A and B are shown apart, each in its own frame.
Chain A
């Protein structure tokens, strides 16, 4: 019998074992799609909700309600003082208007919808009282694919998926192999150790070839998410991202002796990026002092690169600093992981 190459057999083993693990298949392929459906539906574009306004009992309250109700942007109710205060506190209304002289706007200025309500209410009441606007303006409304939440979300989910599959699909599986004493058994054979580690990287790249088209096609078919850049550029950015997270997966797995430890380590590594790297909301929301740190997180770099290509049609030339950073992270983590790896 002629035997196949060890690297081929190792990679085949990885692919088979992955496909025979239903939960791994679900988390890699099913979960991102479910998440994008749920978030895409929850944050779908629709006309803005009317602002909830409460008016307290007092002199001239019914006139106030009448004037405010004339605006389609507002939903107005007349309430007792106590009920109005409670509605404001629990967020059922954004602002409470207290009649009298002077008229009082009661609201929390740290809540964006309250500030919006204050502007709207004041605008309607001032105009009704006879204010004239000296500047004439017209409005041009823009809503097009590319600027919606789902357009922002899909590249983020691709990035998240690349991170999670790299860390769990490599890190966790290696530590499990170690706890089964299988690593020790393998190094007692003439197996080339680099082949063993490479087989994990090859498996990741192979599944990337499936994950990536599935998510992109799903976004295009169900949410009309348009891909403005080239597919080749997406493939390059994703592949470098997969290399970087494969390297980090190897690194976190290089010493861990049991699956609890590796689970904790993976969460420790991935949680800051899960929150900070702009998967679900833009990383620019974090304070300026945190930005230098957030900018160099591999998932931030990957997500920014994917969004630049998918949403803005950027080419690889514009992205080179990020791509270089991902490549550097991949190379450095491989080298360190190989040096410190515990084979028994």
Chain B
């Protein structure tokens, strides 16, 4: 289990209420890169202690820039950042002691073994966990003496997470931890993250996988063009922004206007996506027969019809009109 806050901390918190402050507080964050690219554009967030929080958005939305500012690796252009009640300007070293991170892409030396890499990272921290304990946590016990270049993609990623866990961190930041991994490796990594959450650690992760955010995150912030465009639990976002079910269809020989579709029983919203129309419906058993009747009445032929439970992907499409992977 995690040691209680401050129990073996190298120095007492400088801010009196540091232990009761939120894990992360970000106010009006702006980052403009040299050359004028505005990667983050007035982003505000608050993450509570013990929460697993997801930053969700397409590539280029500003997720990595945001998380690297929170990790103290990038200077913000403007805005206020507080991590574990402290500021990077004054307490950088103490903050790094309590933070465990993975970057989107880090390659350890090819000829370093798993245990050596972990021992090296462990040596940087004043307190931490036994490296064999961490290795068994991430299921790399058998790979203890394997060299980095001999590991699979999933094993490399779990080693990266192990390097983040070895300091027994209070806050863990993971930047796209499962991008490019096969389904089994993703599930293994999710289990590692779930255990960290169950131990009361705060977790911030970025992802563009909806299922990942839905499974792991207590709350998500949907990010687009450097701003938070929606914030809440995955369930809230889906229910409020999309509804329970989504019906997608396309027809041959003409088109049906939005007004007629919206008038159908049980339909709460109509969206036009490339190639098809998506209806958000609350009662699918009423809406689908009504839709079929309308298509027949207009003398059109149904080309495609499918239904699925609404996901965060639908939330993103509702908000932006684009797919997350576009």
Which A positions have Cβ atoms within 8 angstroms of B? Answer: 1, 3-6, 8-10, 13, 16-17, 20-21, 177, 180-182, 184-191, 344
Interface positions of B (Cβ within 8 A of A): 71-73, 93, 96-97, 99, 101, 103, 105-109, 111-112, 116, 119-126, 128, 130-131, 163, 167
Instruction: Output the least CB separation between A342 and chain B (Å).
Output: 13
Residues in chain A near residue B108, CB distance under 8 A: 180, 182
Query: With A3-B125, A189-B96 given, can you name 5 additional A-B contacts, CB distance below 8 Å?
Result: A1-B130, A21-B111, A181-B107, A182-B106, A190-B126
Q: Are B123 and A184 in contact (CB under 8 A)?
A: no
B132, closest chain A residue (CB)? A1
**Cross-chain contact A182 with B107 (CB below 8 angstroms):** yes
- The answer to whether A185 touches B106, judged by C-beta atoms less than 8 angstroms apart, is yes
The secondary structure that dominates the B interface is loop
- Alpha-carbon distance between A187 and B93 when the two chains are bound, in angstroms: 10
Closest partner residue, chain B, to A181 (CB atom): B106
Instruction: Find out whether the CB atom of B125 lies under 8 angstroms from the CB atom of A187.
Output: no
Check A4/B123 contact, CB under 8 A, given A13-B116, A187-B73.
Answer: yes
Set of chain A residues within 8 Å of B112, measured between Cβ atoms: 13, 16-17
A-B CB contacts (within 8 Å), total count: 73
B109 touches A182 (CB 8 A): yes
The verdict on A189 contacting B73 (CB below 8 Å), with A17-B109, A17-B112, A182-B108 known, is no
B107 contacts A189, C-beta separation under 8 Å: no
Nearest residue in B to A182 (C-beta to C-beta)?
B106
A-B pairs, top 3 by smallest CB distance, nearest first, are A9-B123, A20-B111, A180-B107
Contacts of B124 in A (CB 8 A): 6, 186, 189-191
Q: How far is the CA of A17 from the CA of B116 in the complex (A)?
A: 11
Report which of A3, A5, A184 forms a contact with B106, defined as CB distance below 8 A: A184
A13–B154 Cα distance when bound, in Å, is 24
**Pick from A13, A177, A344: contact of B120, CB under 8 Å:** A13
From B125, B128, B130, residue with most partner A Cβ within 10 Å: B125
Alpha-carbon distance between A185 and B103 when the two chains are bound, in angstroms: 7
Report Cα–Cα, A5/B119, bound state, in Å: 10
Q: For the complex, give the distance between the alpha carbons of A53 and B106 in Å.
A: 69
B107 touches A344 (CB 8 A): no
B103 near A3 with CB under 8 A, answer no
Whether the Cβ atoms of B71 and A17 lie closer than 8 Å is: no
Residues A180 and B106 in contact in the complex (CB < 8 Å), given A13-B120, A21-B111? yes
Nearest-neighbour CB distance to chain A for B233, whole angstroms, equals: 29
- Which residue in B72, B120, B163 is a CB contact (below 8 Å) of A9? B120
Which of B72, B116, B123, B126 sits near A16, CB closer than 8 Å?
B116
Question: In the complex, what's the smallest C-beta–C-beta distance from A146 to chain B, in angstroms?
Answer: 43
